[in-house]
């Protein structure tokens, strides 16, 4: 089934490793007809922005999704980040288990969405600390 993407003026999307940007057109509509990793600009996290434990986990899962040639490296880095997080915050075990299940089944996009929830949990904790 094809994926239809509508881009606003200046909006970017990552499709299979290529960054596509709409110019100043009102709306550009793209149809992706084959299976390829697709991430909207709002869902892309740069390495520089990955500055908390949960955002670093999100970043590594993002790499799993878009850089399948280096999956073993990304999986190794993921586990290096998850172990200390669970030691510090065992309450995140349920969410991490869901992420793990998706990663192990190769469903990286779904894992990435759950990692977004993980970042929200982290932000909630940080707001309560301040």
DSSP secondary structure of 19-53: EEE--S-S-EEEEE-S---EEEGGG---TTT--SH
Domain boundaries, the chain: 3-43, 53-129
Cβ atoms of residues 65 and 108 within 8 Å = yes
State in Å, rounded, how far the first CA of the chain is from the last one: 46
C-alpha distances out from residue 64 to 12, 85, 124, Å: 20, 19, 26
Cα separation, 81 vs 100, in Å, equals: 13
Cβ atoms of residues 113 and 45 within 8 Å = no
Residue by residue, pLDDT tens for the chain (130 residues) are 778 888 888 888 888 888 888 888 777 788 888 888 999 999 999 999 999 999 999 999 999 999 999 999 999 999 999 999 999 999 999 999 999 999 999 999 999 999 999 999 988 877 876 6
Strands 12-15 and 38-40: antiparallel
For residue 74, give the H/E element and its range: helix 71-88
The structure's pTM equals 0.89
């Amino acid at each position: 089934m094809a994926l239809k993407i509508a881009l606003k003026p200046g909006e970017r999307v990552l499709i299979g490793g290529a960054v596509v940007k709409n110019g100043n057109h009102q709306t550009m509509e793209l149809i992706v007809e084959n299976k390829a990793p697709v991430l909207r600009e709002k869902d892309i996290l740069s390495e520089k922005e990955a500055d908390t434990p949960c955002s670093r986990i999100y970043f590594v899962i993002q790499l799993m999704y878009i850089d399948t040639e280096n999956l073993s490296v990304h999986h190794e880095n993921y586990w290096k980040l998850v172990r200390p997080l669970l030691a510090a915050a065992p309450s995140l075990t349920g969410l991490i288990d869901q992420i793990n299940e998706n990663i192990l089944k190769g469903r990286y996009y779904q894992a990435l969405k759950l990692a977004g929830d993980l970042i929200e949990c982290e932000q909630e904790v940080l707001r309560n600390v301040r």
